Amino acid sequence: MTEQATGQPVLVAVDFTADTLRLLMTDLDGREVMRERWPLDDLPDEAAWSWEVGGRIASTFAKEGQRRSALGIGVACPGTVDPVSGVLLHSTARAEWDGLSVVHAIRRHIDAPVAAVNRCHAALDVEVSSGAAEDAEDVLYVSLRGIPQAAAMVAGRMLRGASHEAGALPALADIEPNAPLTEEAQESIASVLADATALLNPQVVVLEGESEHLDVLVPLLQSVLDEVAPGPQVVRARFEDDGALLGAVRVASIVSYEGERDA
């Protein structure tokens, strides 16, 4: 059974990783209405994921009674997402989530327009709209939190690749997540990102990750680029780990508009 409350219209943003689910509701002007965070247990299949995530959203609205209604829901996902079908093609969080139909799983529980995107794409979008790369049209965004991932915008358009895999950083897959960066790891990260930057020639390179890692990597990458591919500015992500969640709000806004237009 789906739930749809009536009342104050809100945009709903969902961001999930291997072990955490975050929910943010805002009004139509982007002001925060509600924020929640829950740990995720083992969710071995789509039915379990749907019950946990979609059910959380529906139960949150149910608790609010008739006070709020969802105009649109944006979901930031850990991995490769088909933007048309809303399927998580390849999960970087848990292998059992490969093929997860995110949009369908949520719509089982709540009757609202839903769209799913990659977490890095969502974070890049909000950093360009109002963050560290505001108004730039050529940007490389790199998340070094957990498994390194990247997203790129060229001439104001997000690069997705033929199979939506643009942004994968397999050369950095062997770096130990959530561990102190060795000198070798620092050099490896700087080398890979310098090559990517030289190829894309962005205006801004936005790095997101643990603060102590960025203290080293931001100036290191900037110095390497100044030697081999001068021009791009290396900066920290303004929204840090909230980038994906705030980017999902923008996705919710877009899908809510499209839902109204198609009605």
225-261 tens-digit pLDDT: 999 999 999 999 999 999 999 999 999 999 997 655 4
State yes or no: pLDDT of 49 exceeds 70. Answer: yes
| Cα 200 from Cα 154, distance rounded (Å) | 8
CATH 3.30.420.40 domain extents, the chain: 8-118+242-262, 132-237
Q: What are phi and psi of 10, to 5 degrees?
A: -135, 155
What percent of the chain has pLDDT above 90?
A: 71
Structure confidence at residue 2 as a pLDDT band (50, 70, 90): low
pLDDT of residue 160: 85
CATH number for the domain whose boundaries are 132-237: 3.30.420.40
Under CATH, which architecture does the 8-118+242-262 domain have? 2-Layer Sandwich (3.30)
Chain mean pLDDT for the chain: 90
* Residue 184: Cβ-neighbour burial (10 angstroms; 0-12, 13-18, 19+): exposed
Nearest by Cα to 179 from 210, 157, 149, 154: 210
Interval 93-149: pLDDT, tens: 999 999 999 999 999 998 899 999 999 999 999 999 999 999 999 999 999 987 889
User: Within 13 Å, how many C-alpha atoms sit on residue 37's CB side?
Assistant: 5
pLDDT at residue 4 greater than cutoff 70: no
pLDDT at 262: 47
Q: Cβ distance 234 to 196 under 8 Å?
A: no
